[in-house]
Structure 1
Amino acid sequence: MRQFEDWKKNFDRFFGQDFWGDFEGFMKPSIPQMNVYQYDNELLCIVNIPGMNHPKNVDVLVDHATLTLRGTIDIHHTGGHQLKSEIATGAFERSIDLPFPVRSDKMEATYKHGLLIIQLHRFISDSTRQKPVKIRHLEDE
């Protein structure tokens, strides 16, 4: 591990301090892990949050076309010597851009078996919706 740190410092000196910032997502996975599925006018977000004992421990915030999740992944285990650590734990905050604005009055979230499922619906404003125009027949007047 010490050799990797030395190697990283040499790259930082050569390429600059921000060199590793572009690769951070490859080296350290985003938490919580998320799949997003788009349907015609709906988004389904499935979020992996293990160890959450109550949904009140996570905040789901939607602002126009941004989804933000805040909370804590806590695996309640004590004792023993940990040999492998692949499940990220601790406080998290993650925001993602949604492909379209969503309605604030039609959102639903459920949590079961470690998965938070968020259902969002496309916001269609009156100004973008096609409106029929009534045609007056002047000969009838």
Structure 2
Amino acid sequence: MDPFQQMNDWKKNMDQFFGENFWNEFEGMIKPNIPQINMYQTDHEIMCIVSMPGMSDLSQLNIFIDYATLELRGTIDLEHASGIAIQEEILQGVFDRQIKLPFPVRADKINATCKNGLVFIQLHRLISDTSSRNKVNVKWLGDE
């Protein structure tokens, strides 16, 4: 059984007692976020680097941009099913993660590339106030 599922069941029971908002600050400790990301900001751009270990098919990751929100959906699967796990520190599984961006971004100027298990998402600051959710296509870069 997935240990995070047991923790999630325990959390749901505690939500009934304490209320849902009580746990918001503890969420990262209860179940760490996957995929892991680094985000860097300049005056007019945001660069997000998403860790996708073992990704061999671009359909394992869906990226959506909506105004000032980056949404990541997909699966991290290391494809190693033989043997008994002695230690597992690389998080894997299905994810659906929304990340608040520091400013709204343009839907027409997004670049996403993938190389060596890392996805690089380049976003540009939006000047107007229009909002629309857009799917981002990821391109493979040659492996070295």
Shorter-chain TM band = 0.7 to 0.9
* Structure 1 equivalent of residue 18 of structure 2: 16
Q: TM-score, normalised by structure 1?
A: 0.74
Letter in 2 for 1:113: N
Which moves more between the two structures, 17-26 or 79-88? 17-26
Question: Aligned ranges for residues 14-93 of structure 1 at < 5 Å?
Answer: 16=18, 18=20, 20-93=23-96
* Structure 2 equivalent of residue 124 of structure 1: 127
Alignment counterpart, residue 101 of structure 2, candidates 91, 98, 101? 98
CA, structure 1 residues 20+65, in 2 after alignment: closer, same or farther (shift >3 Å)?
Answer: closer
CA, structure 1 residues 89+121, in 2 after alignment: closer, same or farther (shift >3 Å)?
Answer: same
* Structure 2 equivalent of residue 137 of structure 1: none
Structure 1 alignment gaps of length 5 or more: 127-141
Q: TM-score, normalised by structure 2?
A: 0.72
RMSD of equivalent CA atoms = 2.7
Runs of 4+ in structure 1 over 2 Å off: 15-22
Give the number of the structure whose alpha-carbon radius of gyration is greater: 1
Letter in 2 for 1:121: H
Aligned-pair distance for 1:80? 1.4
Letter in 1 for 2:95: F
Count of aligned pairs: 119
CA, structure 1 residues 105+17, in 2 after alignment: closer, same or farther (shift >3 Å)?
Answer: closer
Q: Give 3-state SS (helix, strand or coil) of 1:104's partner.
A: coil
Structure 2 alignment gaps of length 5 or more: 1-6, 130-144
